[in-house]
Structure 1
Amino acid sequence: MPLTDWISLMACMGHLALAVVVLLKGRGNPLRFPLVLMSLDFFVWNFAQTAHRLSGEPMWDWIDTTFSPLGPPLVFYFVTVFVGRSRKLRPIVIVAFAGFGILSLASAAGFFGQEVVELINRKLWWSHAFLIGLGPIVAATIALLIQHLRSATTFDEQMSTRLLIAAMIVGNLLGATELWEQVFPAAGLGNVGTLASTVLVAIIVLRYRLFPRRASTVLPLYALTVGALGVLGYLVVFSLLGSDIALLVFATTIVTLVLAVAARDLFATVTSTWEQTRYLATLGRFSAQLAHDVRNPLSAMKGALQFLLEEQDQGRSIDSRRDFVELSMQQVERIERLITKYQRLGAVSPDPTAIDLNELISSVWAGVQSGRNVEGLKVDVELADDLPGLTADADLLGVAVQNVILNALDAMPDGGTLTVKTRLEAGEQVAIVVSDDGVGMDSRQQERAFDDFHTTKADGSGLGLGFVKRVLASHGGRVVLQSQPGTGTTVRLTLPLIREPA
């Protein structure tokens, strides 16, 4: 077998291995879905191209030309997610998939007639159309990466972006030679391009932690084993049944199912471990806050009861100590209110009452100060004097504001300036603005900031801003996030006013 085919098979093995690593390591990460699809697409058309060279069977050429047009839009989609602009650029992504999808469907029509495949191979329109569409999408993709590189502040993010740019240039230039040879006399080097780009992406995933979750050191070895066995299985099937299309389709389906089963057990184990860790982190966060809130009334009640017992032990009557009994009863009622509060927190079910927003903010800040060391921080609390009364759930809103303030403090481990403001805004709205000059967030982190269980902290549960968004939405309000890496973050909470009738 020629060297070029060995390179293709190595690339196929790399694609499968990368898909397995991303599938297992990227749980809950938006980059996971496009990167897995991209790896599998590259595997299919690379293997089909190699099989066509070795066998000459037109079916493999049909598979190649069906799946290869999906590569550019998948890469573009992946990059838009990587730079944190997938939502803004979604219409362009859809147009890219539609344009290249036409080429893919044109090739897929060969399944219903061999003459269609021959027509595509005989005419240059397909290759010309592919190259014409490839140029703008590659230029747009590289432009997005260069723009992201200029705004990246961490070394890992800069290196990841540089390697992605290199993978884009190498993969697309060498991949396009497969079409150039139909237009110009040149050797196709697409297999070399995909192998090189896969190696570069694997370095980003494993070395520069594209997916922050920790993974076992045996995961890359496991993924390479699955990839190698997968390629070997497809090769055996191809060698034995290359001329019988019906049996070939059946056998490749069986091999695919076996690969899926091989990855399933490890995937289930990793997923179960991650779900348990996430649950325990969430439970720990809530239980720590609940313990803090319950400790004060329990201490007061314990002190009152100890005093009454001491009075009895001394032979003194406690009939005149009704105030201590009443104090204990008040603390029991306080604990009952706390339990009700935490039930509402879990369901985000507001119980609105008339509140003074400035008093609420002052109370929240006092609670933060009692539980956190704020020495070395400059704190500026500016509460507007002209705020009218507000109808809201004080418990839910208080925890939401507390989360935002704690996030701001966490973003300034070496000190900085924290600003908390309230103000009346146009449109019958009141705003709570929390700003810090901490580490800030890049565009990808901002796009995911309000996702449930997303966190940039190693010991965080990621409930913060996702919970805040749900609380504000339950009150008819909204949350706006503005951030810049190295500059800081501003979170603006707005709530509608319900004025009392005159």
Structure 2
Amino acid sequence: MTGGMWISLVACAGQLALAGLSLARVGKNPLALPLSVLCIALSTWNFCGFAGVRADEGGWRLVGFTAGLMTVPFTLHFILTFVGRRRGLAWAMYGTYAVFGVLALAMLVALFAPSLEAHLLTLRFGLTVTVLTVLVMGWAFALLGLHVLRSRHPDERARAGLVLLGLTLVVALLMTELAAELGLEMVRLGHVGTLLGLPVMATAALRFGLFGDDLGAPRLALHAAGIAGLGVMAYLAVVRLFVAQAGTLIVCTTAVTFALVAATRRGVTAYVSRNERLERLATLGRFSAQMAHDLKNPIAAMKGAAQYLKVEHAQGRPWDGHGEFLDLLLEQVERLDRVVDTYQRLARVEPLPRPVNLHRLVEGVLSLQAFASPGKVTILRELAPNLPPCAGDLDLLANALENLVRNACEAMPEGGTLTVRALRDGADVALEVEDTGEGMDARTRERAFDDFFTTKATGSGLGLAFVRRVVEAHGGEVLLTSREGRGTVVRMRLPAIDGSRACAEAGEAA
């Protein structure tokens, strides 16, 4: 075999190994899906180049062209997700999928329609694809380059730089293949680009935590390298055995591809699942500890009062002068009932709206915060005067604000300034919590309010998701602004009620 064929084969197996690593995180990390399908498309393109030379079959050229076309929307999907613009620019992403999907489908149909193939593999079609690719990739790489320049955290800048370098190697050198197909005098370097881009992207994933720290173990890299080596040997054996049988060759190479991806995914998933089980158990333990803390005080008070009354009864003393103990028992029973009701409403987020004074709400939440972080965090209050009340559930809003305050304090382990504001927001009112911590990167910012998403080793991923549900249940909106190195601001916008309505609702509540 020639050197180019070996490069294609090694790149193919390596891309499949990286795809396996990515597939293990699909559903848990938004970068996993676009990177895995991008790697599979690149591996398909590499293998088509290898098989087309080895088997001398024209159909491989069309399949390779199809895979090459789909690398464009896959790359855009990955870049938009990486820079935290996937949701905001979803229209562009899905539009690119639609356009290049139609072009790729036409290529596949041409496998069975030679007349269509003659119309597609022309200079005009190639120039159209080139213009579309340059426009889409130029815009995507501009977004990625801007993200690199704006990144302040060293690890994020390293990740972004590696991703930019890896994708540049892949896409730029892949364009030489398209230029050669158009008849230009150009050295084909696409296979070299995918091979060089592979270790760069693997370094971003394994060394700089592209999917999180759970993929940083060296044994995962060794596992992927072993799978890639087996893939090379399997592809060589299949092509050597069935080089003259195109149909059998396609079936066998497809089976090898699925086996490689499945083997890699299985090995990574076993490692990751173990860590996730431990995290879920830790979260359950923290939730149980919080519930035990909330129930322990009223139970202890009830026990003390009951023991005292029991001793008084055993000694034959009347209870006439101990009515306060009976009142205490009733109060603590009601307190327990409120605790249970609060936990039920925390799960369902069903507000019981009453007029809520935002000044009192803020003061109540912050009254004990100074004891929680003494000397570390400076707490500032900025409460606009003459704020109208909002129609809300005091317990749920207090819990939501407590979550934001606690997150802000945890974002400043070395100390900083926590500012809580109550202010007008147009016709509405708002509560705003600002910290001077490290801030969030683009991907964390986009997923901050997702259920079970957390960047903390001891976090549950429920805090900000709960805040979002509470605010939306009140007919409001929650907004987050954050920049690395500049802190984070979270605003809860809530509908205001006028004074006459507030008085009427307060009278009904009484």
Confirm or deny a common fold (TM above 0.5). Answer: yes
Once the two structures are superposed, what CA deviation does each residue of 1:401-427 show, in whole Å capped at 9, x if it has no partner?
Answer: 111111111111111111112123332
State the 1:380 CA deviation: 1.1
Residue 36 (structure 2) aligns with: 36
State the 1:362 CA deviation: 1.9
State the 1:268 CA deviation: 5.4
Residue 147 (structure 2) aligns with: 148
The CA distance in 1 between the partners of 2:112 and 2:270, in whole Å, is: 42
**TM-aligned CA distance change 1:265 to 1:208, over 3 Å:** closer
Residue 357 (structure 1) aligns with: 358
TM-score scaled by structure 2?
A: 0.90
Is residue 237 of structure 1 aligned with residue 238 of structure 2? yes
Residue 326 (structure 1) aligns with: 327
Residues 180-259 of structure 1 mapped to structure 2, 5 A cutoff: 180-182=179-181, 183-215=183-215, 216-259=217-260
**TM-aligned CA distance change 1:353 to 1:286, over 3 Å:** farther
The CA distance in 2 between the partners of 1:136 and 1:293, in whole Å, is: 58
**TM-aligned CA distance change 1:225 to 1:250, over 3 Å:** same
Task: Select between 270-279 and 55-64 the one with higher mean Cα deviation.
Answer: 270-279
Once the two structures are superposed, what CA deviation does each residue of 1:251-277 show, in whole Å capped at 9, x if it has no partner?
Answer: 344334544553564465356435534
Tell whether the 8 Å contact from 1:26 to 1:211 is kept in structure 2 after alignment: no
The CA distance in 2 between the partners of 1:54 and 1:246, in whole Å, is: 14
The CA distance in 1 between the partners of 2:46 and 2:265, in whole Å, is: 24
The CA distance in 2 between the partners of 1:70 and 1:59, in whole Å, is: 17
The CA distance in 1 between the partners of 2:294 and 2:435, in whole Å, is: 27
Task: Select between 110-119 and 474-483 the one with higher mean Cα deviation.
Answer: 110-119
Task: Select between 382-391 and 398-407 the one with higher mean Cα deviation.
Answer: 382-391
The CA distance in 1 between the partners of 2:475 and 2:283, in whole Å, is: 26
The CA distance in 2 between the partners of 1:170 and 1:380, in whole Å, is: 49
Residue 408 (structure 1) aligns with: 408
Residues 103-122 of structure 1 mapped to structure 2, 5 A cutoff: 103-117=103-117, 120-121=120-121
**TM-aligned CA distance change 1:253 to 1:113, over 3 Å:** same
The CA distance in 2 between the partners of 1:185 and 1:268, in whole Å, is: 46
The CA distance in 1 between the partners of 2:171 and 2:247, in whole Å, is: 34
Residue 418 (structure 2) aligns with: 418
The CA distance in 1 between the partners of 2:272 and 2:462, in whole Å, is: 19
Is residue 441 of structure 1 aligned with residue 416 of structure 2? no
Residue 472 (structure 1) aligns with: 471
Residue 297 (structure 1) aligns with: 298
TM-score scaled by structure 1?
A: 0.92
State the 1:341 CA deviation: 0.8
State the 1:50 CA deviation: 1.0
Task: Select between 239-248 and 49-58 the one with higher mean Cα deviation.
Answer: 239-248
Q: Percent identity?
A: 39
SS of residue matched to 1:214: helix
Task: Give the letter aligned to residue 374 of structure 2.
Answer: V
The CA distance in 2 between the partners of 1:337 and 1:439, in whole Å, is: 37
SS of residue matched to 2:367: helix
**TM-aligned CA distance change 1:50 to 1:252, over 3 Å:** closer
Task: Give the letter aligned to residue 151 of structure 2.
Answer: A
Task: Give the letter aligned to residue 377 of structure 1.
Answer: V
Tell whether the 8 Å contact from 2:17 to 2:264 is kept in structure 1 after alignment: no
State the 1:89 CA deviation: 2.4
The CA distance in 1 between the partners of 2:390 and 2:79, in whole Å, is: 44
Task: Give the letter aligned to residue 347 of structure 2.
Answer: G
Residues 124-139 of structure 1 mapped to structure 2, 5 A cutoff: 124-139=123-138
Tell whether the 8 Å contact from 1:167 to 1:201 is kept in structure 2 after alignment: yes
The CA distance in 2 between the partners of 1:265 and 1:203, in whole Å, is: 21
Task: Give the letter aligned to residue 458 of structure 2.
Answer: D
**TM-aligned CA distance change 1:474 to 1:297, over 3 Å:** same
State the 1:368 CA deviation: 3.5
Q: Where in structure 2 are there 5+ consecutive unaligned residues?
A: 505-510
Once the two structures are superposed, what CA deviation does each residue of 1:117-157 show, in whole Å capped at 9, x if it has no partner?
Answer: 45544x32333233322322332222112211121111111
**TM-aligned CA distance change 1:125 to 1:105, over 3 Å:** farther
The CA distance in 2 between the partners of 1:350 and 1:232, in whole Å, is: 62
SS of residue matched to 1:218: helix
Task: Select between 221-230 and 4-13 the one with higher mean Cα deviation.
Answer: 221-230
State the 1:68 CA deviation: 0.6
Residue 163 (structure 1) aligns with: 162
Residue 484 (structure 1) aligns with: 483
**TM-aligned CA distance change 1:377 to 1:264, over 3 Å:** closer
Tell whether the 8 Å contact from 2:14 to 2:225 is kept in structure 1 after alignment: yes
Tell whether the 8 Å contact from 1:12 to 1:42 is kept in structure 2 after alignment: yes
Residue 431 (structure 2) aligns with: 432
Task: Give the letter aligned to residue 409 of structure 2.
Answer: L
The CA distance in 1 between the partners of 2:277 and 2:430, in whole Å, is: 37
**TM-aligned CA distance change 1:498 to 1:416, over 3 Å:** same
Tell whether the 8 Å contact from 1:52 to 1:58 is kept in structure 2 after alignment: yes
The CA distance in 1 between the partners of 2:150 and 2:374, in whole Å, is: 30
Tell whether the 8 Å contact from 2:158 to 2:208 is kept in structure 1 after alignment: yes
Residue 367 (structure 2) aligns with: 366
Residue 457 (structure 1) aligns with: 456
**TM-aligned CA distance change 1:425 to 1:166, over 3 Å:** closer
Q: Where in structure 1 are there 5+ consecutive unaligned residues?
A: none
**TM-aligned CA distance change 1:15 to 1:138, over 3 Å:** same
Task: Give the letter aligned to residue 168 of structure 1.
Answer: L
Once the two structures are superposed, what CA deviation does each residue of 1:421-471 show, in whole Å capped at 9, x if it has no partner?
Answer: 2123332x2211111111112222211111111112221111111111111
Tell whether the 8 Å contact from 2:23 to 2:265 is kept in structure 1 after alignment: no
Tell whether the 8 Å contact from 1:175 to 1:190 is kept in structure 2 after alignment: yes
Residue 348 (structure 1) aligns with: 349
Provide the aligned length of Structure 1 versus Structure 2. Answer: 499
Tell whether the 8 Å contact from 2:357 to 2:389 is kept in structure 1 after alignment: yes
